[in-house]
Chains A and B, each alone.
Chain A
């Protein structure tokens, strides 16, 4: 029996093995369901376009020293404010004669750094607060949700400004400030999901096996909340990048001479009328990455949404 199945499996292609409805081991089942999700995502061209841009961004960030034609900090005052397409400076130079393309390439590292940290901190905090509040109910719920409401009541940027002002300017503090302002919507979302999941039969069933609240929240509720959170985070990424850029623009995020995209716009602002490219090119970079995250988020929603994603 076993030799027969291994023989026949060798004959099948890898694709058939992944598309099976009768997986033969835990690993096989996981891989098969991941592959089916990937197939669904792949059929969405816009999402794949977004994903392509993000992969490119990752590549550029990883190989920045090899890709950038110049040192992003090297000032050549004789080559100030060269226009796009100048010899040796494809995207021109800024007011201190630094190559904009190189700065853009190194800036992608900062953007990725911010995005990754915020994506790790805010949704996780929101998930914890939201699921605990939703599952526990009663006083715990009231207290946690009122705290969430307080955070939600402030405009995001104003709250982030206040935090950065208190903590001091700098990229790490900017990340922290953005995370602190970004978690409440995730908490809300996670709580709403938890409320519907909590009363479902499969939670009752595991309670009847004597499972405690910690196990139920982490093993049974989280896996169902996470997909909608991932979707929400990707859709929010654009906003996070913009907030980070906004802080940089206001001089409270990344500090000069750091090539953070928002800070670059801020510096270029003074020359906007005569030398438009200095501010516009980092602006276009922010726009492209934000758009990519939005497209990917839309595609992921179709794949991950538990409401119809199962079949």
Chain B
């Protein structure tokens, strides 16, 4: 188990005149073994925070610490053994020409594992797919099955922190329930720390202990899920978000 701490994180795209500040001065702490949610509407910068933590976006400033250890801009393989990410769209996050076996074996190979064959089978069992799926290609899998493969890939290096970028927003509700249950099980089993991004407050409410509400690149409020359930947020924006997600008809602006 590892804790994650983000201090004064700024992320921007472009330079000079074209510079867009996607995230401004974001700070939050995730205790080890905790589950932290980032919510907000599209363009609020919630996914960008995950991409900055993983180094997929190189233009950031501030402090990112894992268990008190500073994360440098250039990340090595040790970092990716600790932190992994699951992407939003399972249709886009798997290489269309690579079989499940290829995806998982390559990941294991990159992390220097020797017993690749048994590990691939174990990973498939872990995510509830079973070995019969091992040699299939992505186009032979449903959305939920693809997301399970993506989760298996993220688990392959045995990370301690899992970043989840809207892991169920592209899936049907019944499949969403299965994937959320799977994630909860895996979190308990592998003692993972979660950071989950979602636009769906009820999903975050189900999965997380505390939540940061984002708007236009800034964190408006960090509150516990209990407080959110009691509908007692401090900021008006959070209140508004809660209202519209519970009742569409009331969303008259």
Contacts and interface: CB of A to CB of B under 8 A. Distances in A.
A and B touch in the complex (CB under 8 A): yes
Nearest to B110: A209
Contacts of A280: none
Interface string A90-133: 00000000000000000000000000000000000000000000
B56 A22 contact: no
A220 B139 contact: no
B239 interface: no
Nearest to B51: A204
Contacts of A209: 80, 106-107, 110-111, 153, 156-157
Contact of B135 (A29, A201, A205, A306): A29
A33 interface: yes
B240 interface: no
A14 interface: no
B155 to A, nearest CB: 12
A223 B87 CA distance: 22
Given A209-B111, A224-B97, A22 B106 contact: no
Interface in B53-81: 54, 56, 76-77, 80
A28 interface: yes
Nearest to B83: A208
Interface string B152-164: 0100110000000
A201 B139 CA distance: 16
Interface string A12-31: 00000000011111101100
Contacts of B85: 205, 208
B227 interface: no
B96 interface: yes
12 contacts: A25-B135, A202-B93, A205-B85, A206-B106, A208-B80, A209-B153, A209-B157, A210-B111, A224-B96, A310-B96, A310-B138, A310-B139
Interface of B: 54, 56, 76-77, 80, 84-85, 87-89, 92-99, 101, 106-107, 110-111, 132-133, 135-140, 150, 153, 156-157
Closest 7 CB pairs of A and B: A201-B93, A29-B135, A210-B77, A23-B135, A310-B139, A201-B92, A201-B87
Interface of A: 21-26, 28-29, 33, 200-202, 204-211, 219-220, 223-224, 306, 310-311
Given A24-B135, A205-B153, A306-B97, 11 more contacts: A21-B140, A24-B132, A26-B135, A201-B89, A209-B111, A209-B153, A209-B157, A211-B106, A211-B110, A310-B138, A310-B139
